Copies of this chain bind each other. A is one copy, B any other.
Amino acid sequence: MIITKAGRRMFPAMRVKISGLDPRQQYYVAMDVIPLDNKRYRYVYHSSKWMAAGNADSPVPPRVYVHPDSLASGETWMRQVISFDKLKLTNNELDDQGHIILHSMHKYQPRVHVIQKERGEELSHVRAVPQGDGTRTLSFPETVFTTVTAYQNQQITKLKIDRNPFAKGFRDSGRNRMGLEALVESYGFWRPSLRSLMFEDIPGMKQGDKLMLMSIMILVSLTPVCL
């Protein structure tokens, strides 16, 4: 995923559908991005692979992207597909725009949080998400990505150009256009799918929890590991 000083969107964006919430309860929905491991990576062109190359850079200030529809009722959240397309990534450690701060050439795991509103609680953009009974955190391994300041892999570049409407100007004209199916076929690592994760699957999930029936589906946004 490309990161810049000014902040760059993720593409594709995380999109999530939630069910099983208490329709009348108020929730925040938020996203953050945590390091996948303790390594720094480099892309080895001749083998077309990311290789570990030393230890991770020093930690960056923690940031949380609170979905702009927050605070909203369970009913509201469940009625829509929740898209994180306005979230931005930056490599500027002094960023004051509330963007998520990451190091380039590292691997990251995005997470989605569903946070039940406690009385008086205020969700901060610059502090870690409160962990407790009222918070459910979900990660999808399919969405792990590698940060770069310039694409290392021509397949990824082509994928971005072909799928992102804002990159239309770089597409091959006419003849090379593909339908979604052919496109998907041509990228072995690109696995769009509809995945469903029940809270029953979550380690430490408590019986009798109000949120037990909540499930989250990733609809579209599966990001190849080497992105």
Q: Specify which chain B residues have a CB less than 8 angstroms from the CB of A217 in the assembled complex.
A: none
Q: Chain A's interface: helix, strand, loop or mixed, by majority?
A: loop
Nearest-Cβ distance from residue A123 to partner chain B, whole angstroms: 12
Q: How many copies does the complex hold?
A: 2
Q: Specify which chain B residues have a CB less than 8 angstroms from the CB of A71 in the assembled complex.
A: 71
Q: Specify which chain B residues have a CB less than 8 angstroms from the CB of A73 in the assembled complex.
A: 122
Report A152-211 residues with CB < 8 Å from chain B CB: none
Nearest-Cβ distance from residue A41 to partner chain B, whole angstroms: 40
Q: Specify which chain B residues have a CB less than 8 angstroms from the CB of A122 in the assembled complex.
A: 73
Nearest-Cβ distance from residue A98 to partner chain B, whole angstroms: 14
How far is B122's CA from A158's CA once the two chains are assembled, in angstroms? 47
How far is B23's CA from A122's CA once the two chains are assembled, in angstroms? 13
Nearest-Cβ distance from residue A178 to partner chain B, whole angstroms: 34
Mark each residue of chain A from 113 to 133: 1 if its CB lies under 8 Å from any CB of chain B, else 0.
000000000100000000000
**Nearest B residue to A73 by beta-carbon distance?**
B122
Mark each residue of chain A from 19 to 44: 1 if its CB lies under 8 Å from any CB of chain B, else 0.
00000000000000000000000000
How far is B25's CA from A122's CA once the two chains are assembled, in angstroms? 12
Mark each residue of chain A from 70 to 112: 1 if its CB lies under 8 Å from any CB of chain B, else 0.
0101000000000000000000000000000000000000000
Nearest-Cβ distance from residue A71 to partner chain B, whole angstroms: 6
Mark each residue of chain A from 29 to 72: 1 if its CB lies under 8 Å from any CB of chain B, else 0.
00000000000000000000000000000000000000000010
How far is B71's CA from A71's CA once the two chains are assembled, in angstroms? 8
Nearest-Cβ distance from residue A217 to partner chain B, whole angstroms: 27
How far is B122's CA from A73's CA once the two chains are assembled, in angstroms? 10
Nearest-Cβ distance from residue A23 to partner chain B, whole angstroms: 12
Nearest-Cβ distance from residue A179 to partner chain B, whole angstroms: 32
**Nearest B residue to A76 by beta-carbon distance?**
B122
How far is B73's CA from A73's CA once the two chains are assembled, in angstroms? 18
Q: What are 2 contact pairs spanning A and B, CB under 8 A?
A: A71-B71, A73-B122
Nearest 2 A/B pairs, CB to CB: A71-B71, A73-B122
